[in-house]
Amino acid sequence: MMKNSPIYETARQKQARFSNQDGWHVAQNYGDVEVETAVLAQSAALCDQSHNGKIRIEGKTAGAMLDADELAIGAGKAVDYGRLYRLRPDLFFVSTAVGNVRETAATLAQQASDNPDLITVTDVTHGSAELWLIGPNSAKLLNRLCGLDFHDSQFPNGAAKQSSVAKTTQLIIRRDITARAGLMTVPAYILIGGRSLAAYLWQTILQAGQDLGVQPVGTAAVASTAS
């Protein structure tokens, strides 16, 4: 059975074209991919990436198990299975491709079971939404909905912080996109939160950023920009 993201019905009503990515309906585009790519590069674009794998690891010795004791709170690093972020001394988050999430979660769970201390590994992919806000106006838009300071000096590329966005609890990760063979960097913020409030947050972001040119885009525009 195909899986739907919490934005599926909203995207379908907007005539999105969907593709199958490892059993998920994924919005590829809402029309002209070139137009969506331009929006992403010039103003602000909102993209549903809820199909991506998401795993939480919690425990007082989780850092040692993950070989991440040196990782500062709020920082992330690339690992073999994706990207690893430290949210608290005892709490980590893994972002991985949808095709890798089961294997990655099983491998981490096995490592946790071999550990003498209690470490929990939870695949939260299905219960969470993942919305990407991308473009030069994305930080300005987030400033309208969140109390964090999104200036580069306070929220650099690679940072991860938990906060409230439009009165919803979100993990915010900055993961800029390098485009045009390394000649341009596009700011990108990933919002990960509860599935039940995702459609509300999606609409709230689009309404709050109308004057900033925010528009929904599909995954094709993001892939095209990053290639």
The predicted pLDDT at position 180 comes to 62
Question: Could you read off the pLDDT of 101-120 as tens digits, one per residue?
Answer: 999 999 999 999 999 999 99
Identify whether the C-beta of residue 206 lies closer than 8 Å to the C-beta of residue 47: no
Identify whether the C-beta of residue 218 lies closer than 8 Å to the C-beta of residue 36: yes
Question: Could you read off the pLDDT of 143-179 as tens digits, one per residue?
Answer: 999 999 999 999 999 999 999 999 999 999 999 998 7
pTM: 0.95
Question: Could you read off the pLDDT of 35-93 as tens digits, one per residue?
Answer: 999 999 999 999 999 999 999 999 999 999 999 999 999 999 999 999 999 999 999 99
Q: Is the pLDDT of residue 196 over 60?
A: yes
Question: What are the residues whose beta carbons fall under 8 Å from the beta carbon of 226, sequence distance 6 or more?
Answer: 177, 178, 179
pLDDT band at 226 (very low <50, low <70, confident <90, very high): confident
Identify whether the C-beta of residue 43 lies closer than 8 Å to the C-beta of residue 213: yes
CA nearest neighbour of 16 among 1, 28, 2? 28
Would you state the structure tokens that stand for residue 128, as one six-digit string?
């969470």
E strand or H helix at 63, and its extent?
Answer: helix 62-65
The predicted pLDDT at position 179 comes to 75
Q: Is the pLDDT of residue 227 over 80?
A: no
pLDDT band at 127 (very low <50, low <70, confident <90, very high): very high
For residue 122, is it left (φ>0), alpha (ψ between -120 and 50) or beta?
A: beta
**For the chain, which domains are there?**
8-51+127-226 (3.30.1360.120), 53-123 (3.30.70.1400)
CA nearest neighbour of 112 among 58, 184, 32? 58
Sign of CA dihedral 81, 157, 170, 35: negative
Identify whether the C-beta of residue 218 lies closer than 8 Å to the C-beta of residue 17: yes
